[in-house]
Amino acid sequence: MFKKFIICVVVMTMIVPLFQLQVRANDSMSLPVQFFDYDADGLFYEYALYNGMDTFGLGTSNNEDVTKGLVEKTLGKDGNPVYKRSAIESAASTIHENLINLKDDQNLNKYDIFKKFSNYSNASGSVHTSLSGSDTKPFYKNWKLENIDGSGDGEYLHSGNGVVWQQETDGVLNYGVNDHLIKEINVVPNTEYKFHYWITEKAGASNELKYRVLDKNGKVLLDNNPIDTVFKSSTDTITIDIYRVGQTKDVLKFSNVYLIRDDNTFTENYLGNIESSSTSNFIDKGWKSQLYNQASKENGKIVDGKNYWQQKGDGIICLNDSAICFDTDIPTNQYIKFNYWLDEQSNNGSLSIDILDENNHLLVSKEVDKNGGWQTFLLDIPSGQGNIKVRINGQGVSPRMAALSVTPMGQVLPLGQYQETLNKYNNNQLNVIDDCKTCMDYAFLRLTNFYNTHFYLNKIDTTYSKMILNKTVNNGREEYLFDSSKPITYKNGEFYNDGNGILESGFFPLDYLSNSEKHSDGQVDHNFHFGMKVDGEFIYKQSSKQFFEFTGDDDVYVFINGHLVADLGGAHKAANTIVNIEDFAKEQGIKNGEKCHLQFFYLERHTTASNCKIQTNLNIGKRVEYKFESGTPNMTLPNSIYEYVPIDEKEYYYGQQVSIDLQNRKFKDIRDDTNKGVWRFIGWDHNSKIMSNDALQFVGKWVFISDEELQKQIQIVSDTHSNQNKKTQINTGDQTQIVLYCIIAVIALLGIVIIIKKAHK
């Protein structure tokens, strides 16, 4: 009895695994993948597109939306996507702008390539802060009015002499202009008066400010006499004449002018006795200028000419339309950084900045943003004669510009021209980063090799070469699915979803690489800089609703037979695309049973998220294609014949022998009423072949036989089409396997029956 039990167990152990293997073969699909780890240069892949994420200049995505139209509709000769000229030019421009505008960015300067390109030539010249004036160093010491004969004093840059006299509390200031300030005063004739005054002198300018006292008839009563000198006038009026004689431009003050009567009473201070010159001024008290009496008289000033610019603290304000210029020691042909503060706009005035060479040739012009606050920008100064001149143009009454600094920055990598770059590439002169002499060179080199796994900065990784897609049923249709949002197991060169895998917040298949650069995402460091390629074949099955669907980020392109069918370009959040194989087949004229070549390109390059979801009912891998051809010259096969093309979806491997099943080596004649005859199958080019790297194709030929020719033959096929049994699925060896399973099962069952019968005996 024990022997009988053992025999039963042995038989069942032979049967059950065979059936289990058959079921597992249909539970999943293997997708061939190739990963590569690329050099995260910190310039192109993410950060060149960082500011606003204007993806190649063709559409601002802000790391959100897909940017279509970056690549050509067909694959290049190397089997990789080809980026359009417009994409390359826009990428070069974006890189160039970031080299300029983010030159001081600490994140970018961690990368050697950015430092190299942003400091293509060293800065030359000094940092200038001459606009940041002060009371002791006014701005007009260096800045001059353009095309206006003027000068500066006090807080103004003006035409003419500017401010000649200005009241200051108890006195008056002279701004280095030789002039007479005169006032008539009533006195009691023949009465003694003391003349009191005070002169504030400066070293080197002593004795330049003087005074006289004259009677009504012009007789000089006092002439620079000491303080409190006594005088007497025979007339009832006297003239006080304060005047400047000298060469210096120092500001001198004459103050406290009053008379002391013989009874020691004081007259008023004829030059002031006010706390603020804004409430009253000496002009109101009858003072006048001898030379500039027609000049502007307001706010306690006598001004010769027009005030154009005024200093306010460490800044300036334009008062009237004009320009001021400043000569620097900064050579041309480099970038210059401007940094300044701008007060909030309170009027309609405006400012702009020009850069000129020493021959006054305009090199660059820049409008000043009217928004207040700190402002910084860089100007690309082309080659010119000598050193640069900075010109600030003012219109109307402008907002205050303060704390201006002008800093030479050297030269960044030039932008370049597309045609010049293309010529270099075609002449094999653009192969590595050191060959890049322009931003156009760099953008072209990197974009051309975005998916090129033979490029020296893209390192192929072979640890995982198969993505396993598990079978699902969706609305009654069998599909295969991989979803990075579900637990993933990485094992034995494969990765797949199962309940025992690791649940990660994204798709990071190259995290295990020890020398890869990782970035933080949700407090976890990941390798975001990798690419993935899928290269396989599938058999087109007419009217079977075949599809390929992807959801994820970033740049994703799908090509079938070299034609673009899915475009998810740019750095973007997770996006979805569905390829309808039936529509593509109709557009391309693909026949039932024809082999199609699918190529999938995936690039992760933004360090905030990584997602990958693939869903399809295609069976992608190395496929055997069966193809029918006409063996009759100048005649094409009718569409009805293609219904009989064998379809083989079994996956084969290199070196494996593939044989055509006997059932698919012969076909009955197919009636062709249009041409009045039949098509006869004469055989395949081979009955078996060895699978190579290029996969396999069997070609079967049909010849046309007219009805007239059929009459001459012994056997006439009259209506073969109605009796033909369609063969839509090739018997590839799986049928033999099933038959073998059945034979073994029957033998096993017979063995069990015999054992049971013997047991009853």
pLDDT digits (tens, 9 = 90+) for 616-667: 999 887 678 899 999 999 999 998 999 899 988 777 766 788 999 989 999 9
Position 506 confidence tier, pLDDT thresholds 50, 70, 90: confident
Position 17 confidence tier, pLDDT thresholds 50, 70, 90: very low
How many C-beta neighbours within 10 Å does residue 485 have? Answer: 17
Examine the pLDDT at 563 and tell me if it is beyond 90.
Answer: yes
Virtual CA dihedral for 418, 420, 422, 428, nearest 10 degrees? -150
Q: Which residues contact 248 (CB under 8 A, 6 or more apart)?
A: 176, 204, 205, 208
Count of residues in the chain: 761
Shared domain for 456 and 402, answered yes or no, is no
Shared domain for 596 and 640, answered yes or no, is no
Higher pLDDT, 161 or 351: 351
Q: What is the predicted pLDDT for the residue at 744?
A: 61
Question: Is the residue at 630 inside a domain?
Answer: yes
Q: Which of 669, 664, 683, 682 is nearest to 641 (CA)?
A: 669
What does each C-alpha distance from 666 to 340, 512, 577, 686, 699 come to in angstroms? Answer: 87, 54, 42, 13, 13
Task: Compute the mean pLDDT over every residue in the chain, rounded to the nearest whole number.
Answer: 82
Percent above pLDDT 70 for the chain: 80
Q: What is the predicted pLDDT for the residue at 746?
A: 63
Shared domain for 539 and 643, answered yes or no, is no
Least confident of 49-63, 107-121, 169-183: 49-63
3-state secondary structure of 254: strand
Helix (H) or strand (E) holding 658, with range, is strand 657-659
Shared domain for 296 and 323, answered yes or no, is no
The count of structural domains within the chain is 4
C-alpha–C-alpha distance, residues 597 and 561, integer Å = 5
Contact 688, 658 (CB under 8 A): yes
Boundary of a domain, candidates 621, 649, 669: 621
Shared domain for 249 and 291, answered yes or no, is yes
Shared domain for 201 and 320, answered yes or no, is no
Contact 484, 574 (CB under 8 A): no
pLDDT digits (tens, 9 = 90+) for 154-205: 688 888 888 888 888 888 999 889 999 999 999 999 999 999 999 988 777 7
Shared domain for 468 and 565, answered yes or no, is yes
Q: Are strands 466-474 and 494-497 parallel, antiparallel or unpaired?
A: parallel
Question: Is the residue at 151 inside a domain?
Answer: no
Residue 318 phi/psi, 5-degree rounding, is -80, 130
Shared domain for 605 and 656, answered yes or no, is no
Q: What is the predicted pLDDT for the residue at 758?
A: 60
CATH of the domain at 362: 2.60.120.260
Shared domain for 314 and 294, answered yes or no, is no
Question: Is the residue at 535 inside a domain?
Answer: yes
Could you give the maximum distance between any two Cα atoms of the chain, in Å?
173
As given in the structure block, the two tokens for residue 317 are 């304000």
Boundary of a domain, candidates 304, 333, 356: 304
Q: With the C-alpha atoms ordered 327, 329, 335, 338, is the resulting torsion angle positive or negative?
A: negative
3-state secondary structure of 579: strand
Boundary of a domain, candidates 579, 606, 621: 621
Contact 344, 398 (CB under 8 A): no
Question: Is the residue at 431 inside a domain?
Answer: no
Q: What is the predicted pLDDT for the residue at 426?
A: 96
Question: Is the residue at 761 inside a domain?
Answer: no
- Range of the structural domain that residue 680 is part of: 624-737
Question: Is the residue at 638 inside a domain?
Answer: yes
Question: Is the residue at 130 inside a domain?
Answer: no
As given in the structure block, the two tokens for residue 613 are 């979801």
pLDDT digits (tens, 9 = 90+) for 679-720: 999 999 999 998 876 668 899 999 999 998 888 875 544 444
Q: What is the predicted pLDDT for the residue at 759?
A: 57
Q: Could you tell me where the beta strands, DSSP code E, fall in 399-529? A: 401-410, 458-461, 466-474, 477-483, 488-491, 494-497, 519-521, 524-526
Q: What is the predicted pLDDT for the residue at 280?
A: 59
Shared domain for 239 and 326, answered yes or no, is no
Contact 690, 665 (CB under 8 A): no
Q: What is the mean pLDDT of residues 726-748?
A: 50
Virtual CA dihedral for 475, 536, 579, 585, nearest 10 degrees? -100
pTM: 0.60
Shared domain for 177 and 298, answered yes or no, is yes
Shared domain for 299 and 370, answered yes or no, is no
Examine the pLDDT at 70 and tell me if it is beyond 70.
Answer: yes
C-alpha–C-alpha distance, residues 603 and 510, integer Å = 13
Please compute Rg for the chain using Cα positions. Answer: 47
Contact 24, 496 (CB under 8 A): no
3-state secondary structure of 350: strand
